[in-house]
Structure formats: structure tokens, C-alpha cells
Amino acid sequence: MIRISLMLPSNRPGRAPPTCTRCGRRPSIYYRPYSGERLCSPCLKESIKERVQRTISRFEMFEYNSRIAVGVSGGKDSLNLLHILYEIEADYPEAELIAISIDEGISGYRDEAIEHARKACRTLGVEHLVLSFKELFGFTLDEVVERTGGGGLKPCSYCGVLRRRALNLAALRVEADRLATAHTLDDMAQTALLNLMRGDTRLLASSHPSGKSLPGFVRRVKPYCEVPERESALLAYLKGIEFQSIPCPYAEEGMRSDIRRFLNRMEAKRPGTLYIIYRASLELASSLGVGAEQIGVCSRCGEPTSGSLCRVCQLLMEIGITDKRGGAQ
Amino acid sequence: MARVRVRLMGTLRRAIGREEFELSVEPPEVAQVIHRLSEMLGQGGAQFDPENPGAEALILLNGVEISNLEGLRTQVEDGDMMVILPVAHGG
């Protein structure tokens, strides 16, 4: 008699998850396709924290006494980073953390996220500064979009440039010597591909996670840059961090969205794609050998820039905003 | 046929307008639950790539991400809890 086994092969877990490949004790909850690891919840949390620590060390991001401004949008990635840096900095009593949030003025969307950021900072006892586009530049992003009337650049292009400036101004205001942002591995790979597709090798070189010390700029570092967004989402869920329920109304309009979808498919099909693009972009940036930029001041707002007119002022003038806001006040 | 509880997180919750609900699915597998959710989302279903729903969302069955099980072919049973986390929005 032929007996047909209903047992699944040992490498196919069925409904019962295999044991964690890291601790060898607890049942795993997550499979990392790019490394073959199967991780339980505590090991996943620990491995993400270790990855952030390794990134900080490799790129020499902080000093033992750094005053670190963390850009906290209130989304899952920045809240995760805030929690992780809070844990890491507990071992460095002379280091300081300050959370900074930028309210772009996107009706409905940002209010919810900033409330999440406020709550997290209260829980951790971290100082928190919120600055808005309205108070820094005199208008909200919604008003900018209204002015462009759907023509010209996409909202993300304005938002990116203005938020970058706003974060630097906020970091200067809290007298930080580092500005840490929660760019994920996905963000890094998307940006690399985006810059490549636009032929912008200067930007490709300047998005390096270690940042640079330039006059007038707080050094921007990206300690979260090797954490995939999928793992970030799972980490936030496991830690009980609240998720934003409202998507950014402008998010789907940018070229980045097309690249994100493409890369998500590629990563699912060929695990490791995001990391390979990220590593390749670092190598490309160093081999491009972009030298130290000559930093001067913008003739309009007085902020540091490599040209005569900074990008913020160029954008503002394009949409007919002619007063001299947008600099340190 | 299996009756499972579905809990939505983040933007999915708003897109479907419900946080938690029950679904009866036949055949009783994860893919069928996702198919039903895609139908509920309709045209606004940016969170799911129809060819590869796992690329845009994390799907947990009783707390275990489905790629750690049998993926979309994982069998579901009465009383199972599925949590769906959209990955891309709200960084």
C-alpha cells in the first residue's frame, strides 16, 4: 500500500512558524528574505537596534557628547528612530536628544502625526520643538500648492526643499550639533535611483548618510538608513507605536512613488535589491569625488548656499513670493 | 470555509472605513482574504499591488508574518486573526 504523507517538508513551515534562527529558542514571527534569517519579536527588535548602532559607528555619526536633534515627523520610522536613539543614548550620559517636528501645513495630514510625536516625546521625557512652514516662510504647503495651480513642479519638490531648510533652522534653534533623520533603506535606494534617473550626480553624492560639516548647516546624519521600511513597519507595530491613518494627499503625485512601487516589486522578487542599490550609490558617490563645496550666503535670505541664490529662494520666487522670509530669524 | 477576524492598521483602516471585522473565506487561505480586501478597497487600493500584495503591506496571521509561513497560500482557520500593516505610507 502506498502511503501519502501529509507532512510538509521541513523547510515549509505550514501554520507553525520555525524556531528563531538567532536565539534558537522562541518561535519566529518574521522571515528576512535577503538574509534567510527567521526572527522572533525580541530578536527582530534587537537586530534593528544593532543595525542602527553599527551604522552610527561605521559613519562616525556622533560624539559621546553630541547634542542631537532628531527630526520626528510623527510617522512610524521617525518614532522608531527616536525610541532607538533614546535607548542607545542612555549609555552616553553626556549626549542629549531633542525632537524637532516640522508642520508643513497639509490640512488634516500633519496634525495627526504631530500629535503622535508629541505623545512619544511626553512618554520618553524628550524636549520637543515644533516649527511650521507658516511661521518660517509665511505660508503653508497647501497655500504653495494653491499658488502653483497644478502647473510646474510637484508639491513634493517644494515640500522637500522647504522641509530641509526648516529642519536645519529648527536644529540651529535648539543649538544641536547633529541633525538625525529617519531615512530608511527604501528612502536611500529610491533617492539614489531618482537622482540617477534625473542625471543629478551632485545630489547623488550629497545624500551620503554620514552628512558633512558645512558652515551654517547642522551636520545631517541618517542612522536609520540601513533599516528596510517593511521591518520598520513591523517594529512600530510590535512596539505599539501608533500608525498614521491619513495618507499625505500629495504623496502619489511624485516620481518617487513610481520608483517606490518598482523597487518594492523588485525587492519582493529579488531580495537584497534595495541594499545593493544603496551600497552602489555610496560607492558611486565616493568615486565621483565631489569635492568640498564652496559655501557662501544667499543674496536674498542670507542662508548658506553653494550658489548666489539658494534653492528655497529660487522656488519661492518662481511662485511669486517675494518677501525675504525663510532664513534664520 | 473559514471565518477570520481582520484588523487593519494605518491608512488601510481609513481607506476601508473599519478597524476590525470578520470575513468568511472560501478557499480558506490568506490569498482569499487579501482578494476580498482588494475588492473592498476598489480603485483606491494603492496599498495592494494586485500581483504582489505582500510588497506594499505586511500581513500577519496570528502574529506571524505570512512570508514566515506559507505566504499567500497559508491556510486560515476559524477564529484566526489577520493584521494588515501598510508599509509605505506615513514614514
Residue A236 CB partners (closer than 8 Å, separation 6+): A76, A77, A79, A80, A243
Q: Which residue has the cell 536633534?
A: A69
pLDDT bin (cut points 50, 70, 90) of residue A329 is: very low
- Nearest CB partner across the interface for B10, out of A38, A244, A261: A244
DSSP H helices in A175-272:
185-198, 201-206, 229-238, 255-269
- Nearest CB partner across the interface for B13, out of A27, A184, A245: A245
Is residue B91 one of the residues assigned to a domain?
A: no
pTM for this model (two decimals): 0.90
DSSP H helices in chain B:
10-16, 30-41
Give backbone dihedrals phi and psi of B12, rounded to 5 degrees, phi first.
-65, -35
* Three-state secondary structure call for residue A41: helix
Query: In this structure, are residues A223 and A89 in contact, taking their beta carbons and an 8 Å threshold?
Result: no
pLDDT bin (cut points 50, 70, 90) of residue A64 is: very high
Give B65→chain A minimum CA distance, Å.
5
Average pLDDT, chain A: 88
Listed range (A134-143, A260-269, A292-301, B79-88) with the worst mean pLDDT: A292-301
Is residue B27 one of the residues assigned to a domain?
A: yes
Residue-number span of the structural domain to which B71 is assigned? 2-86
Is residue B46 one of the residues assigned to a domain?
A: yes
Q: Which residue has the cell 508629541?
A: A118
Q: Is B63 on the interface with A (CB under 8 A)?
A: yes
Q: Based on the structure, what is the number of domains in chain B? A: 1
Q: Which residue has the cell 532607538?
A: A84
Is residue B6 one of the residues assigned to a domain?
A: yes
Give A80→chain B minimum CA distance, Å.
10
> Max alpha carbon distance in chain B (Å)?
37
User: At what angle are helices A273-288 and A185-198 packed, to 10 degrees?
Assistant: 50
CATH classification for the domain delimited by A59-140+155-248, as one of 3.30.559.10, 3.40.50.2300, 3.40.50.1100, 3.40.50.620: 3.40.50.620
Domain locations along chain A: 14-47, 59-140+155-248
Give backbone dihedrals phi and psi of B85, rounded to 5 degrees, phi first.
-115, 115
CB pairs under 8 A between A and B: 105
Q: State yes or no: pLDDT of A95 exceeds 70.
A: yes
The CATH number assigned to the domain holding B36 equals: 3.10.20.30
Structure confidence by residue, pLDDT tens digits, A30-62: 999 999 999 999 999 999 999 999 999 999 999
Residue A307 CB partners (closer than 8 Å, separation 6+): A296
DSSP A68-121: EEEE--SSHHHHHHHHHHHHHHTT-TT-EEEEEEEE---TTHHHHHHHHHHHHH
A79 vs B contacts (CB less than 8 Å): none
Give B13→chain A minimum CA distance, Å.
7
Structure confidence by residue, pLDDT tens digits, A111-151: 888 999 999 999 999 999 999 999 998 889 999 888 887 67
Question: Has the ipTM of the complex gone over 0.85?
Answer: yes
Task: Specify the pLDDT at position A3.
Answer: 45
Interface contact A243-B90, CB threshold 8 A: yes
Is residue B41 one of the residues assigned to a domain?
A: yes
